[in-house]
Structures are given as C-alpha cells and as structure tokens.
Amino acid sequence: LKGDPAMFVAYTLVRAKMAAKARPLLARLEAEPEKGKLQLRSLGYAALALLETGESVDRRRAEQLVEELWSRAEREGGLIHWSERPD
C-alpha cells in the first residue's frame, strides 16, 4: 500500500483491535520522505490510529501530528480550513 491508503488501513486495523498489524504501516510516519508525501487527511487518520492504541508513546506522537495539522491550517476571514495539495 502507498502512504495515504496505508494510514486509513492502519486506522481501521487499530479500531478493529488489530494494532499489531497496524504498527508497520504507522512506522512509515517516521520516514520523512513518506510523511512529506501524505495528504492532510492521512495525517489525521494516523493521529486517530495512534490515539486509539492507548499507548502513551503513541499518544505523544498523535499530539505531534495534530500540532502539525494545526500548523498547516489556513486562516481567512475568521475561518479555518485545510487545503490538500494537488496531486
């Protein structure tokens, strides 16, 4: 699986109580080239998956991803939104 679908699959695996199978997919976040190519929604799925594991180290990583998502937010006219980059 490529990066974006892999993060969605990781999220669904963790929700299905199969976190061990999701770990190799989530480990891709540590590979900077891979992370840089992920769409914002995929970072969101990864953060949700990490939170769902219940592990404190995963919670810290999820918090970092959420901070990154907020840093990429666009603010205009009192509104906040995210824009995906074109493929």
Give 79's strand partners. Answer: 76
Other Cβ atoms closer than 10 A to 48: 18
Over 80: is that where the pLDDT of 32 sits? no
Cβ neighbours of residue 3 closer than 8 Å, sequence gap 6 or more? 28, 34, 37, 38, 42
Secondary structure of the chain: what % helix, strand, coil (to 5)? 70, 5, 25
Retrieve residue 86's tokens.
């074109």
- Confidence band (pLDDT; 50, 70, 90) for 80? very high
User: What's the pTM?
Assistant: 0.87
User: Phi and psi for 35 in degrees, rounded to 5?
Assistant: -60, -40
- Confidence band (pLDDT; 50, 70, 90) for 86? low
